[in-house]
A and B are shown apart, each in its own frame.
Chain A
Amino acid sequence: MLYREAGQFKTTYAADMAVFPIRQDRIALALLVAVAFIAVPFMAEAQVWPFRTDYMVRAILIPFLILSLAAVGVNILIGYCGQISLGSGAFMAIGAYSAYKFATGVHIPLAWLGTAISIPPLPGLISIPLGGLMAALVGILFGIPSLRIKGLYLAVATLAAQFFFDWVFIRVKWFVNYNSSGSVSAPDMYLGPIHINTPVERYLLCLSAVVIFATLAKNLVRGNIGRQWMAIRDMDIAAELMGIRPLYAKLSAFAVSSFIVGVAGALFAFMYLGAWEPLAFDINRSFQLLFMVIIGGLGSILGCFLGAAFILILPIMLDQIPHAVGIPVSVETVSHLVFIVTGGLICYLLIVEPRGFARLWGIAKEKLRLWPFPY
Chain B
Amino acid sequence: MKADVNPKPVARSGPVVANGDVLLAVSNVSLSFGGVKAIRDVSLDIRKGEIRAIIGPNGAGKTSMLNVINGFYHPQQGTISFKGRERRAMRPYIAASQGIARTFQNVALFKGMSTLDNIMTGRTLKMRKGIIQQALYWGLSQREEIQHRRVVEEIIDFLEIQHIRKTPVGKLPYGLQKRVELGRALATEPELLLLDEPMAGMNLEEKQDMSRFILTVRDAFNTTIALIEHDIGVVMDLSDRVVVLDYGRKIADGTPAEVQANQAVIDAYLGIPH
Contacts and interface: CB of A to CB of B under 8 A. Distances in A.
A binds B: yes
Contacts of A231: 110, 113, 121
A13 interface: yes
Given A17-B149, A231-B121, A234-B110, A220 B93 contact: no
Given A17-B145, A224-B129, A230-B112, A216 B96 contact: no
A217 B123 CA distance: 21
Contacts of A230: 110, 112-113, 117
A125 B37 CA distance: 63
A217 B97 CA distance: 28
B34 to A, nearest CB: 21
B134 A219 contact: yes
Contacts of A238: 104, 108-110
Nearest to A19: B137
B131 A241 contact: no
Contacts of A366: none
Contacts of B141: 219, 223
Nearest to B70: A241
A367 B135 CA distance: 32
Given A227-B117, A241-B92, A219 B72 contact: no
A39 to B, nearest CB: 27
B113 A227 contact: yes
Interface residues of A, number: 31
Contacts of B129: 223-224
Contact of A227 (B104, B121, B146): B121
B117 A224 contact: no
Nearest to B166: A16
Interface in B115-165: 117, 120-125, 127, 129, 131, 134-137, 141-142, 144-146, 149-150, 153
Interface of B: 70, 72, 91-93, 95-97, 101-102, 104, 108-113, 117, 120-125, 127, 129, 131, 134-137, 141-142, 144-146, 149-150, 153, 184, 188
19 contacts: A13-B150, A13-B153, A216-B135, A220-B131, A224-B123, A224-B145, A225-B134, A230-B110, A230-B113, A230-B117, A234-B109, A235-B110, A238-B109, A239-B121, A240-B92, A242-B122, A242-B125, A252-B131, A256-B131
Given A216-B135, A238-B108, 11 more contacts: A13-B145, A17-B142, A216-B136, A219-B137, A223-B137, A224-B124, A224-B127, A227-B117, A233-B112, A241-B72, A242-B184
Interface of A: 12-14, 17, 216-217, 219-220, 223-225, 227-228, 230-231, 233-235, 237-246, 252, 256, 299
